[in-house]
Structure formats: C-alpha cells, structure tokens
Amino acid sequence: MKLNALLVSATLATSSMVAINAHADSTARVAAASALGSVAGTALGKNMGGTTGATIGAALGGAGGAAVASNKRNRTESAIGGALGGGAGYTVGKSMGGSNGGYIGSALGAAGGAALGNKVSKDKDADNRKYRKHRKHRN
C-alpha cells in the first residue's frame, strides 16, 4: 500500500509537470516538482530514520524540488517554502491519516509552500523594479 501511494503521487506529479505548457519558472511547475521531491524524500527518510527521518526527508525533498524548478531569482524563497510546507504537511498528514496521509500531506504542503514562496519572490521583484523605475536619481 505504501508503494502504491508513492507511485501514484510520483505519477501524478510527473504528469502534471509534463502537461503544463509554461516557461521554466511557472509556479505550477515549481509546485509539482516540490511535491514530487517531497514524496520521494519522505519515502527515503522514512526508510532511513523512521518518522523523524521522514519529516526531514520531506523538507529536504520539497526544498530540492522547488529549487530545481525555480528561476535563479526565485530559488531561495521557493526552496524555503517547499521545505517548510513539506515538513509541516507530513506531520499534519500523518497525524490525521496515518502513513498514507503523511505522504499526501507532504506533497500538498510542499506544493503549496513552494508556490507561495515563488509568488512572494516574484511580487517582491516586481515591487523593486517598479520602485527603481520611478525613483529620481540624485547626485
């Protein structure tokens, strides 16, 4: 059953990355990559270190997936969001739905965290560009 949940999550995340026609820094693509990384990290961490290892694996996998799919400007914020979302999502999902709930929570948390981090970074860059454009240069 655990292997089935892992395979279904990986297939869903991979198919959503392929199905999206967008540029490299699409928020949906960052979310899907973070979800896939988080599920893989959860499975690997759980085999190596139990529940604590799964939480750490979910965070590291979510951060790695988000960082790989993000643009250079948005990489840090996306990775932080994916890590926090993946770790927290696994913990909440496990407490609500057992082991399979942990995998699902990890994927959803990492996807949401990475998407939010990516969006915040893009908004911050847009605000900075707007400010620099209208600022008067004085010597």
Per-residue pLDDT tens for 5-28?
656 666 655 555 554 444 555 888
Buried b (16+ CB within 10 A) or exposed e, 1-30: eeeebbeebbeebeebbeeeeeeebbbbbb
Contact 22, 29 (CB under 8 A): yes
Query: 4: Cβ–Cβ under 8 A, 6 or more apart, which residues?
Result: none
* CA distance linking residue 79 with residue 108, whole number of Å: 15
Predicted model pTM: 0.75
Percentage with pLDDT > 70 across the chain: 76
pLDDT value, residue 133:
62
Burial of 128 (0-12, 13-18, 19+ CB in 10 A): exposed
